[in-house]
Amino acid sequence: MSENFALMKGNEAIAESALRAGCRFYAGYPITPQSEILEYMSDHMAERGGVFIQGESEIASISMLWGAAACGARVMTSSSGPGYDLKQEGISYLSSYNLPAVIVDVMRYGVGDGEITEGQDSYWIATRGGGHGDSRQIVLTPASVQECADLTCLAFDLAEKYRTVVIILSDGGISQMIEKVVLPEAKEHDMNKFDWAIKSYKKPEEPKVKVTNLDRSMDYAEYDQMMRTKFKTMHENEQRWEEFMTEDAEFILVAYGISSRVCKSAVRLARKERLKLGLLRPVTVWPFPAKAFEKLTEQVKGLATVEMSLSAQMAQDVLLASKHRFPVYSYLTSKYVATPKGIVEYCWRALEGKEEELEVY
Amino acid sequence: MAEKKKAKAYADTSLCKGCRLCVGACPKGAIEPLTELNKKGYEIIRIDEEKCIGCGQCYTICPDYVFTIKETEDHE
Amino acid sequence: MTVKKTKPSMINQQVGWCGGCGHGIIQRLIAECCEELGLAEKTVQVVDIACAYWSIDTLNCDGIAGPHGRCAAVATGIKKMRPDANVYIHAGDGCSYVIGLSETCYAAQRNVPITMIVVNNGIFGMTGGQMNLATTLVGDRTVSSKNGRDANIAGEPFDFLNIISNYDIAYAARGALYDPKHINETKKMIKKGFENQRDNKGFSIIEILSPCPTNWKMTPVQAMEKIKNENEKVFPLKGYVDKGGEN
């Protein structure tokens, strides 16, 4: 048995994988259902030689991240729901100066305090730039404990590759489920290798680093263009998705995270009923896997998203990515995890013209 | 011949912002506020070298590093 | 000719602060202390998004700004990852005592060995002179208290150093800038703050009563008089905590 084999919760897999990826600074605040990430870090960070701080708030935590990330370290914070709201200023600052950082949002359901269990509340805020907007961050959506581990490791590498914030958009279902997982090999990170980082010692004649809310080493036009080029490059190179029985599908579900797991069962159930259902599962929701939609042919009669939210959030991105080539439907399951039967019945109704197509507002 | 070290204040008035804090800080009243403007449009000052004893109070209170205190040997 | 006193070499250009603003004196004192203690090459400055921000371009050291009010948290993150660096904060009273009250308290609560310098000018300067809940005196006119601060509506200002003294920290003191004697005493306080960090003694906070002539709508000389006659009565100049050991 591999020494990396474990049985753990999604939250624990994220934390352990982060430590193995070289994360040596974590600051966070308790909020359900992500508190295990904080607790795991409080237990294990010190033995890896890193720093764990239980912050006095989510804002304080991400502000500490701004400082630690500026030093070139691999850093992480996590939150959920209203706590994720408080991270926004920090996400904007980190993005403005192009600092690598990993932020975990374990989604809940609902606006405001909402419910503290499974849900997919924050798709829009995670994918629309964070903070007061006008930027892009890579957003990864694990749908299993194994993906929690793999995508966390990937998150740190992508963050460093592009000097970007990477958001791991988990949810209360994935975070709490216990599954077997093969954890990544541990690796060390050298925080002194970056010339953009704050150091402990610099001679007077050495160039100095000034980390501010806007990289002022270039003028606005140059900065704006640099950012757009970065976003375009990430969009071009980092789209990730899974296709499940889509080759001959006549109707395709689009879902991520907890909802996507049920969709696989729904696909199998539908096929027993002679409905050729397929699933397109985004693994990045930014960049949204537009390339996956380009491959779809006219045999596809429609697309339906399955989301645990009150608004059709991802459905709008499906409309954009599919360029209005297909009717798009949105199956919103509120705070309840979808059932395979419910999904299949919805698809039948959509095909029979008994469901309204997506309305954008 | 006795050698005596004398310290004096020297002002780079291009840095002056006309705040006048130095005028009151000088124990010898050696700093005179002028209406003359520097390039930035601030009213500058002038040091009366005779009165100046190079104590450095002007340097201490100036927010803009206008003053430098230098020590020179004075041969009597 | 020997130069006895001149602009510290750590300062590489003039800052655009208003004439008579206390920030200029404070920045010079910080630079003098870092140089005299041989810490210039290890210094990392943390400035807030307010008037102190302008210091970031003018000191020859690595620096980081903001977010507004979060300096104490940012400095904590840096000190934890770069423990050998001489990390100081140059922030205003709005940043540190209003929006950032929690962060300031918790840097003290954690006794992080940084040097926090807070500029108490009784106002929100950068944004045009609004009332500062923590430090504007009752009766002072600001753009958000045009008839003078009314304690019935906005409460009273408070002496933050009284609060911070309850934490297990190394040093807390308040100085002022209204004459060379007080500036020299303030410099000693700042120096103590840096020595404590150098010797890993814990958190040091130095609050400095500073003029804001522009927003107080007075001349710099009048502003210094106001501090001496009014502000000092609400914010006494003294040491509050000194656990650092011998001077």
What domains lie within chain C, and their CATH numbers? 22-242 (3.40.50.970)
The total number of structural domains that make up chain A: 2
How many of the other CB atoms lie within 10 Å of CB of C69?
27
The pair of structure tokens assigned to A301 is 């009669």
Mean pLDDT of chain A: 96
Q: Using one digit for the tens of pLDDT, what is the confidence trace for A81-93?
A: 999 999 999 999 9
Question: Chain C contacts of A63, Cβ < 8 Å?
Answer: 67, 70, 73-74, 77, 103
Following DSSP, what letter does each residue of C83-134 receive, concatenated?
Answer: TTSEEEEEEEHHIIIIITHHHHHHHHHTT---EEEEEE-SSBTTTTSB--TT
pLDDT at C246: 46
Domain check: are A27 and A164 in the same one? yes
Last residue of a domain, one of A237, A267, A300: A237
Round to whole Å and give the CA distance between A121 and A199: 39
At B56, is the pLDDT very low, low, confident or very high (cuts 50, 70, 90)?
very high
Domain check: are A278 and A232 in the same one? no
Indicate the CATH number for domain B3-71: 3.30.70.20
Interface partners of chain B (CB pairs < 8 Å, 3 or more) are C
Q: A138 in a domain, yes or no?
A: yes
Domain check: are A231 and A254 in the same one? no
Q: pTM of the full predicted structure?
A: 0.93
Residues 6+ apart with CB under 8 A from A179: A7, A8, A10, A144, A145, A146
Residues 6+ apart with CB under 8 A from A111: A121, A310
pLDDT of B76 > 50? The answer is no
Q: Using one digit for the tens of pLDDT, what is the confidence trace for A105-156?
A: 999 999 998 998 899 999 999 999 889 999 999 999 999 999 999 999 999 9
Q: A214 in a domain, yes or no?
A: no
Last residue of a domain, one of A212, A237, A262: A237
Segment among A128-142, B61-75, C59-73 with least mean pLDDT: B61-75
Q: Using one digit for the tens of pLDDT, what is the confidence trace for C85-97?
A: 999 999 999 999 9
Domain check: are A145 and A20 in the same one? yes
The count of CB pairs under 8 A between chains A and C is 121
Q: A333 in a domain, yes or no?
A: yes
Q: A144 in a domain, yes or no?
A: yes
Q: A221 in a domain, yes or no?
A: no
Question: Chain B contacts of C18, Cβ < 8 Å?
Answer: 17
Domain check: are A161 and A27 in the same one? yes
Task: Classify each residue of C119-146 as buried b or exposed e, where b means 16 or more C-beta atoms within 10 Å of its C-beta.
Answer: bbbbbbbbeebbbbbbbbbeebebebbe
Q: A282 in a domain, yes or no?
A: yes
pLDDT at B74: 62
Q: Using one digit for the tens of pLDDT, what is the confidence trace for A10-43?
A: 999 999 999 999 999 999 999 999 999 999 999 9
Distance of residue A164 Cα from the nearest chain C Cα, in angstroms = 18
Q: Using one digit for the tens of pLDDT, what is the confidence trace for C107-128?
A: 999 999 999 999 999 999 999 9
Domain check: are A232 and A269 in the same one? no
AA letter at C153: I
When pLDDT is averaged across residues C191-217 and rounded to a whole number, the result is 98
Residues 6+ apart with CB under 8 A from C234: C137, C157, C159
pLDDT of C245 > 80? The answer is no
Please report how many Cα atoms fall inside a 13 Å half-sphere around the Cα of residue A52, on the Cβ side: 19
pLDDT at A2: 72
Q: Considering just the CA atoms, what is the radius of gyration of chain A in Å? A: 21
Domain check: are A133 and A253 in the same one? no
Residues 6+ apart with CB under 8 A from A241: A280, A281, A282, A283, A284, A289, A292
At A216, is the pLDDT very low, low, confident or very high (cuts 50, 70, 90)?
confident
Nearest CA in chain B to C187: B60
Question: Chain C contacts of A22, Cβ < 8 Å?
Answer: none
Q: Are A160 and A100 in contact (CB under 8 A)?
A: yes
CB-based contact (8 Å) between C166 and chain B? no
Distance of residue C154 Cα from the nearest chain B Cα, in angstroms = 32
Distance of residue A155 Cα from the nearest chain C Cα, in angstroms = 21
Domain check: are A143 and A274 in the same one? no
Strand partners, A184: none
Contact across the interface for C221 and B21, Cβ inside 8 Å: yes
Quick one: which of A350, A307, A50, A2 has its CA closest to A188?
A50
Q: What is the CATH number of the domain that holds A325?
A: 3.40.50.920
Domain check: are A317 and A284 in the same one? yes
Percent of chain A with pLDDT over 90: 95
CB-based contact (8 Å) between C111 and chain A? no
Q: What is the CATH number of the domain that holds A86?
A: 3.40.50.970
Domain check: are A32 and A116 in the same one? yes
Q: A135 in a domain, yes or no?
A: yes
Domain check: are A14 and A85 in the same one? yes
Q: A286 in a domain, yes or no?
A: yes
Following DSSP, what letter does each residue of B1-70 receive, concatenated?
Answer: --EEEEEEEEE-GGG-----HHHHH-TT--EEEEEEE-TTS-EEEEE-TTT-----HHHHH-TT--EEEE
Domain check: are A51 and A84 in the same one? yes
pLDDT of C210 > 80? The answer is yes
pLDDT at C12: 93
Contact across the interface for C18 and B72, Cβ inside 8 Å: no
Which structural domain, as residue segments, surrounds residue A156? 5-197+226-237
